[in-house]
């Protein structure tokens, strides 16, 4: 059976500052780097055939740090267009054994529109606690100029079905490094969660969520030092 491993990126610098991040390209904090390396240690004996990430540096960093602890091969970003596609192909023909890494905006974090860069407590003072809570925790209410979780799912789920599931069907093991909301929408799809349930789903940073695939996906659970925790822990 092939395996699917979903990892929410480690803590970013703006996570630490309590800022709405969204599509702002913020790197990992020191703690986030440690979280990614810890995930790499947990996954060091897994063989990965392909990696998918968002286009944001915090997810790419997390994937690369995980793979730095792994013996599957050298991770190599695959450029799917432009001159870099040709130059990357030349390297691939003459380089070491590598694991392809595909990055896509479809896996980006939920786009927070006007709120991006705002401190969350400041947003509550400006718009009120209830309104900010609705934007953050409702399924289909978007912040000004931004995406709801429903909007996010409309780009993540088709990408998951069209690009990631076929890799599992070929018997390949897949690592996906992405974000809290992009992964929540994918897990909602996999698990068949209701709108109410997905709003209670909080995927922890840097903790691998592992599935086995054999015609369908079966949750093994969060991989921790002490073993698998197969509870999604809906808050």
Contact between 172 and 183 under an 8 Å Cβ cutoff? The reply is no
pLDDT of residue 85: 82
Which range among 25-34, 76-85, 172-181, 215-224 shows the weakest confidence by mean pLDDT?
76-85
Mean pLDDT of 33-53: 97
pLDDT of residue 88: 75
The secondary structure of residue 48, as a DSSP letter, is P
Domain with residues 2-112+147-229, CATH architecture:
3-Layer(aba) Sandwich (3.40)
Residue 174: HSE in the Cβ half-sphere, 13 Å Cα cutoff: 24
CA-to-CA distance for 218 and 70, rounded, in angstroms?
A: 24
3-state SS, residue 51: strand
> Which positions are annotated as active-site residues?
9, 109
CB atoms within 10 A of CB 137: 11
pLDDT in tens, 44-101: 999 999 999 999 999 999 999 999 999 899 999 998 888 888 877 766 666 668 899 9
Mean pLDDT of the chain: 94
pLDDT in tens, 198-230: 999 999 999 999 999 999 999 999 999 999 999
Mean pLDDT of 185-201: 96
pLDDT of residue 82: 85
CB atoms within 10 A of CB 199: 18
C-alpha torsion angle, residues 55, 231, 221, 52 (rounded to 10): -10
């Amino acid at each position: 059976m092939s395996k699917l491993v979903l990892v929410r990126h480690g803590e970013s610098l703006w996570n630490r500052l309590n800022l709405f991040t969204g599509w702002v390209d913020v790197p990992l904090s020191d703690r986030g780097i440690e979280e990614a390396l810890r995930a790499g240690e947990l996954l060091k004996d897994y063989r990965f055939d392909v990696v998918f990430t968002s286009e944001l540096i915090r997810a790419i960093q997390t994937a690369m740090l995980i793979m730095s602890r792994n013996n599957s091969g050298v991770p190599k970003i695959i450029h799917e267009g432009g001159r870099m596609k040709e130059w990357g192909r030349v390297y691939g023909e003459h380089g070491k054994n590598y694991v392809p890494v595909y990055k896509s905006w479809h896996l980006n974090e939920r786009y927070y529109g006007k709120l991006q860069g705002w401190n969350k407590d400041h947003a509550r003072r400006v718009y009120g606690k209830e309104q900010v809570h609705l934007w953050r925790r409702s399924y289909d209410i978007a912040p000004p100029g931004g995406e709801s979780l429903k909007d996010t799912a409309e780009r993540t789920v088709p990408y998951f079905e069209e690009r990631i599931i076929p890799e599992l069907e070929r018997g390949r093991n897949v690592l996906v490094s992405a974000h809290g909301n992009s992964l929540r929408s994918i897990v909602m799809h996999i698990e068949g969660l209701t709108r109410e349930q997905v709003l209670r789903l909080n995927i922890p940073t840097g903790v691998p969520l592992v599935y086995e695939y054999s015609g369908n996906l079966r949750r093994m659970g969060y991989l921790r030092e002490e073993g698998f925790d197969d509870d999604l822990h809906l808050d």
